[in-house]
Structure 1
Amino acid sequence: MDWTRRRVIACALAGSTALAGCLDDDPSRSLPAMPRGTWGQFAHDAANTGAAEVAVPDRGTLAWESGDAWEIPPLVAGDTVFSVATQIDALDAQTGETRWSVDLDAETGDATAPAVTAEAVILGVAGRVVAVERDSGDLLWETPREGAAAGPVTVDPAGELALVPFERRGRDDLVALEVGTGTIAWTVQMRFGLDTVPPAVFEGRVYAAGRRQDDTEVLRAYDLTDGTRTWERELIAETPPAVTSNGVFISDEGTLRRVSHSGDESRRLLDLDRVDRVSRRIQAVAVAGETAFVLSPAGLFAVSVTDGSQQWQTEVEPLADGICVGQESVVVSVRSDEFDTMWPCVAAFDRADGSTRWYYSVGKSFDPTLGQTAIADGAVYFLSNTVDGIAALGDLAPKG
């Protein structure tokens, strides 16, 4: 194991506050109970909402480390956590024990974030899309495709089509494959950005942000069944779209917009230019009920999806482009002056008022980094270069 992924120095602030956590010398404990719930795609679901009906634990104490992930965030399905690098590891969600492991015959960086269905784990690898059986890791199908998979896989709510962005010389494609067989159902051409994938699927439409061939940045809607384009709207997206019954929520050069499902109406909900003229970029958007959560260098915001009224704001420095919204908590990877450490932290904030519930520091190491998180009932899973693969946090008493 490369030394940069090992713990170098334990957190010097252990025990200084009930809110804070640090790396444990022996990260091999089980969580108090088997976590439940599904965080089966990059932003939880096909609509990219970033919100799950699960209870985030009351404390964020390190339980275990396992798997071999470097860059790809964890996914959770039932009692299994999936870790992806050059292989897929299926881990027991409570103990971290490896249930099965499959070599992808890939180089580091070749694989994409997968999507998990009731039967399969589907992911893009350089030149192909692969599906393995969820409970055993056995190969279900493999579909060759020219180019390289360029972003996370999205599976529609019915579990029938998997959408995979592919890039190749001279063009980018969004490829739809049948989940059961791997047969390509349709392909549309659209240039994607790393910050604007994956697309979102909601009520028979696919919403995708990217560029025309003349570099004009757009948001497009396609028919899910055959890929027919239904509308297009010019905007400068910084995040993937998130879709609910209230509309399509997406950044537009420092502005959070709500676009109607038909594409003919748009409303500005949050303009960071009015908040912080230096830190205008929106890094992540999540939507739960009547509230949109926005992460940017200007802070973490909660705003009304109907009129844009601000519910709360907390000043944080984002460390990963993701937001996990649970029933009562919002979990992000951040730094904050409100914490008693400036090391990277996985933090849980109260969903109602933005107050800090707890934070877990990954401790002192050489250039520590944090990736996106995934949540389940009773657990938070995260990726960092200071842990071995995936780490699990839960409601445990700190050791010592």
Structure 2
Amino acid sequence: MNRRTFLATACVGTAALSGCLSVLPLGRPDTPLPAVPDGTWPQHGANSANTFVSDVSAPPRGNLAWESATFTRWDRVITDGIVYTTNFDPSNEGSAIALDAQDGSEQWRTLLEGDGDHGRALVDERFLVAYDEELVALDRQNGDVLWRQLLEESETGGRPTYTPELLAVDERSGVVVVPSRDGLEAFRAENGEPHWETARVTQQRVTPAIHDGTVYAVGAVDGTDSVAAFDVEDGTTRWTKALEQVSTSADPVATERGVFVVDGNSLGVHDPETGERTKEIGLAEIDRTESTTVAVDGETAFVANAEGLLAVDLAAETTRVLHDDDVYAQGFCIGSDTVIAMVDGSEYVSTELRETITVFDRETGDVQWNYVLDSFHSVTIPPILVGGAVFFATSSTGALAVLGDVDSNG
């Protein structure tokens, strides 16, 4: 992770604000969750629009339930009570893996021999994995390979052509978008066939958003930092709009309210049809040089940055602070009534250990519970909420960990 080190799990979280700690039992925690997690998180930003919103409730307490036996340090995708992940790493064989979301038991494993950065997404009954050599579709039920699509030459002058970790999928049309250094390429999820490509936007560093038939990408247009819109069916350019100081970490978000981008120390909102900027909301507490994530739900946007966590009233164009200290800003999530983030939680817990997974009330900012982390290892998977469970990972375990409404193991 860059710029800020947030640290790993070795102590059991607490459901109370007192911060009382328990010691992890010897061996791997393996308590099943009380129910199968409902809800879904099918791709990087929760959905094709990159809203980072999961319209479900957080568990009433956050104790460690189970850790997976399999190694992983890559974002997972979840639906229908199954977690889909990978173990791409030089020390592992490079497989796609399905786990039971309630108890962590392995359901299937398919060897892909993948390594390095890659993207994962769910669409229809397929688990898609894009990596430096190919785009692969696996049957969600058994892991069988349904099709493989070789990507074009992956190395040019020692630099990768594709950025497969920025994979985006349109759930409605089944169009799969894979950014590259030189543009965007789209494929059909049904069979992997190439669908269209464009070189209008290049040098992308963030995941495109797809909403209502349009792909929104942030990159360079004729050498100028811009946000650009393309038809999801044929790739034709709908509009481009120059940006002044674009964030290199904040994914664009697209909703009925508009297309949201971080530009300098402002949250810009663009008309989805024309690209014209309709709002520019100042984010005084945000440092554009730090990693930033934007989430949007209805009339509220949430902005996480190393400097803090903000809620933005889109109608009033005002901001309020939910947390005014360090935040692991490379990912957080919004529930139906909560915000879940990794933060410096020293003001919430009576312990020398500072880093926590904290659940905030999204209206008041009140803390509902904390899970306390230790001070030895870095976060590898930021928290996501899927119906009654919070999934995350740290390098101390090398595995997927789950918090839920279970008794403390200490």
**TM-score under structure 2 length normalisation:** 0.86
Amino acid of the structure 2 residue aligned with 1:157: E
Matched, 1:220 2:228: yes
1:38 is aligned to 40
1:95 is aligned to 103
Tell me, yes or no, if the aligned pair for 2:307 and 2:327 is still in contact at 8 Å.
no
Deviations along 1:23-54, whole A, 9 cap, x unmatched? Answer: 63241110111111110010110111111211
Structure 1: gaps (5+ residues):
1-6
Tell me, yes or no, if the aligned pair for 1:280 and 1:297 is still in contact at 8 Å.
no
> 2:110 & 2:166 partners in 1: Cα distance?
19
Tell me, yes or no, if the aligned pair for 1:312 and 1:353 is still in contact at 8 Å.
no
Amino acid of the structure 1 residue aligned with 2:361: D
**CA drift at 1:240:** 1.2
- Change beyond 3 A, Cα 1:202–1:36: same
2:281 is aligned to 270
1:136 is aligned to 142
2:338 is aligned to 329
- Change beyond 3 A, Cα 1:187–1:53: same
- Change beyond 3 A, Cα 1:331–1:10: closer
**CA drift at 1:78:** 1.1
Amino acid of the structure 1 residue aligned with 2:24: D
1:28 is aligned to 30
- Change beyond 3 A, Cα 1:18–1:395: farther
Q: Residue 241 of structure 2: which of 233, 236, 254 is its match?
A: 233
Tell me, yes or no, if the aligned pair for 2:76 and 2:120 is still in contact at 8 Å.
no
Alignment of 1:1-400 (within 5 A): 10-11=10-11, 17-18=17-18, 24-25=24-25, 26-66=28-68, 68-86=70-88, 87-107=95-115, 109-110=116-117, 112-146=118-152, 147=154, 148=160, 149-150=162-163, 151-167=165-181, 172-189=182-199, 190-194=201-205, 196=206, 198-214=207-223, 216-235=224-243, 236-238=245-247, 239-272=250-283, 274-275=284-285, 281=290, 283-340=292-349, 341=351, 342-365=353-376, 367-400=377-410
- Change beyond 3 A, Cα 1:15–1:266: closer
- Change beyond 3 A, Cα 1:12–1:249: closer
Amino acid of the structure 2 residue aligned with 1:349: F
> 1:258 & 1:9 partners in 2: Cα distance?
37
Tell me, yes or no, if the aligned pair for 1:122 and 1:153 is still in contact at 8 Å.
no
**TM-score under structure 1 length normalisation:** 0.88
Tell me, yes or no, if the aligned pair for 2:124 and 2:171 is still in contact at 8 Å.
no
Amino acid of the structure 2 residue aligned with 1:289: G
- Change beyond 3 A, Cα 1:188–1:42: same
Amino acid of the structure 2 residue aligned with 1:344: E
**CA drift at 1:17:** 4.6
Tell me, yes or no, if the aligned pair for 2:8 and 2:375 is still in contact at 8 Å.
yes
**CA drift at 1:19:** 5.5
> 1:302 & 1:354 partners in 2: Cα distance?
9
SS state of the match for residue 381, structure 2?
Answer: coil
- Note the aligned Cα RMSD (angstroms): 2.5
> 1:174 & 1:320 partners in 2: Cα distance?
26
Q: Which moved more, 1:291-300 or 1:142-151?
A: 142-151
Amino acid of the structure 1 residue aligned with 2:364: D
SS state of the match for residue 191, structure 1?
Answer: coil
**CA drift at 1:321:** 1.1
Amino acid of the structure 2 residue aligned with 1:137: G
Structure 2: gaps (5+ residues):
1-6, 89-94, 155-159
Deviations along 1:109-150, whole A, 9 cap, x unmatched? Answer: 14x231112310112111211110111100011101122541
Q: Which moved more, 1:306-315 or 1:139-148?
A: 306-315
Tell me, yes or no, if the aligned pair for 2:12 and 2:24 is still in contact at 8 Å.
no
Amino acid of the structure 2 residue aligned with 1:234: A
> 1:9 & 1:173 partners in 2: Cα distance?
39
2:157 is aligned to none
**CA drift at 1:21:** 6.1
> 2:69 & 2:96 partners in 1: Cα distance?
8
> 1:97 & 1:246 partners in 2: Cα distance?
41
**CA drift at 1:291:** 0.4
